[in-house]
Amino acid sequence: MSIKRKTDGKETPGVTKKPKIDFFAPKTAVAKTGPSFNFSCKDTNATRLVAWNVNGIHSILKDEQKRKILIKYLDAEDPDILILTETKFAQGKPDLQYLKTKFKYQYWGTDLRAGQAGTAILSKIKPLAIVETGLPTWTPSASETKGRYVELEFERLFVVGTYVPNSGENFKSMDIKQKWNVTFKKHLRDLDSRKPVIWGGDFNCILQQNDLDSKALPYWDRMSGLSKTEREEFNNILNPTDDESRKFADIWRHLHPDAAEYTHSSEKFGSWRLDSFILSERIVGKASCCLIRHELEDLKLSDHWPVMLDFAELL
């Protein structure tokens, strides 16, 4: 039995009526906004390039939240050319509609071994007919390096993306690294004799100690990427002693001569600046900005962070 309480229409002091619930009204979803990025817009007459070691793009493609972060980042950055290294991607292109829509021209270099290396250049700008995947001067076949080298030719210059070989634990692959240095230097010089070059990617070598944090410094001369042999050979690519007119510059270090910033970090080996852009010296003055995007450090998309370059003219 229920007892209905009579009321004269007046509210009882101290009693608050509960609002009626409309069960048929559409429910409002709780938005998970995630991180936000606020980058300066590029000049309309400039080209923005980004180089990023993604340490396996599969982990991003399989994780919805990571995909959303990737899309937010690329929307905010708005690069014209995106160089990806260590994609670890097999044949074909990743099935991500956003990338297909954003970058009309895509060139994915894949390693002969599944899940190894991988380098890609994605571009909004149409390159000329000549496109290379694999270092052309590599013997016996350039196909052995398809996962480490992609080259696009544009009207005014070449854009090269590399994932330079690692010399390995206890330098067991130093012979491969040295062969790469000789072979790559020869081809880079040939390109530069025809047009200036913008070279971006992961170089797997540290030239000076201020590109390491205090945790990484004890490994100087003791592990891959930090040996005297690798430093001397890499420096000889940038500053050839036999032709003073064909020098190249690490543009981030050129614009930030005293800064201590890094593009990669590991719990065991500390932080390193492995990724950058290297430019033919004669076009260095056209680089208006080069920044490391630390905003992505803690987002776990990769153990590396992107490097952005604004080049003050269209390619």
Task: Tell whether residue 303 is among the known ligand binding residues.
Answer: yes
The whole-chain average pLDDT of the chain stands at 89
pTM of the model as a whole: 0.88
Q: How confident is the model at residue 253 (pLDDT cuts 50, 70, 90)?
A: very high
Q: Would you say residue 95 lies in a domain? A: yes
Residue 75 has pLDDT above 60, yes or no: yes
Active-site choice (107, 262, 304, 310):
304
What mean pLDDT do residues 246-258 have? 96
Residue 32 has pLDDT above 70, yes or no: no
Q: How confident is the model at residue 265 (pLDDT cuts 50, 70, 90)?
A: very high
Residues 112-128: tens digit of each pLDDT:
887 889 999 999 999 99
Active-site choice (73, 107, 163, 262):
163
In the annotation, is 250 catalytic? no
Residue 286 has pLDDT above 80, yes or no: yes
Task: Tell whether residue 53 is among the known ligand binding residues.
Answer: yes
**Residue 269: CATH number of its domain:** 3.60.10.10
In the annotation, is 264 catalytic? no
Which pLDDT score, from 0 to 100, does residue 213 have? 98
Active-site choice (202, 211, 250, 310):
202
Q: Would you say residue 55 lies in a domain? A: yes
In the annotation, is 98 catalytic? no
Task: Tell whether residue 170 is among the known ligand binding residues.
Answer: no
Residues 127-181: tens digit of each pLDDT:
998 899 999 999 999 999 999 999 999 999 999 999 999 999 999 999 999 999 9
Q: How confident is the model at residue 244 (pLDDT cuts 50, 70, 90)?
A: low
Task: Tell whether residue 204 is among the known ligand binding residues.
Answer: yes
What mean pLDDT do residues 98-122 have? 91
Task: Tell whether residue 256 is among the known ligand binding residues.
Answer: no
Residue 100 has pLDDT above 80, yes or no: yes
Q: Would you say residue 8 lies in a domain? A: no
Domain that holds residue 53: 47-311
Q: Would you say residue 18 lies in a domain? A: no
Q: Would you say residue 29 lies in a domain? A: no
Q: How many domains does the chain have?
A: 1
Q: How confident is the model at residue 309 (pLDDT cuts 50, 70, 90)?
A: very high
Q: Would you say residue 26 lies in a domain? A: no
Retrieve residue 97's tokens: 């509609």
Got the DSSP string for the chain? ---PPP--SPPPTT--PPPPP-TTSPPPPPP--------PPPPTT-EEEEEEE-S-THHHHT-HHHHHHHHHHHHHH--SEEEEE-----SS----HHHHHH-SEEEEE--SSTTS--EEEEESSPP-S-EEES-TT-SS-GGGGTTTEEEEE-SS-EEEEEEPPP--GGGTTHHHHHHHHHHHHHHHHHHHHHS-EEEEEE-----SGGGB-TTTGGGTTTSTT-SHHHHHHHHHHHS-TT-TTS-EEEHHHHH-TT----SEEETTTEEE--EEEEEEGGGGGGEEEEEE-GGGTTS-S-SB--EEEEESS--
Q: Would you say residue 5 lies in a domain? A: no
Q: How confident is the model at residue 4 (pLDDT cuts 50, 70, 90)?
A: very low
Q: How confident is the model at residue 37 (pLDDT cuts 50, 70, 90)?
A: very high
Q: Would you say residue 27 lies in a domain? A: no
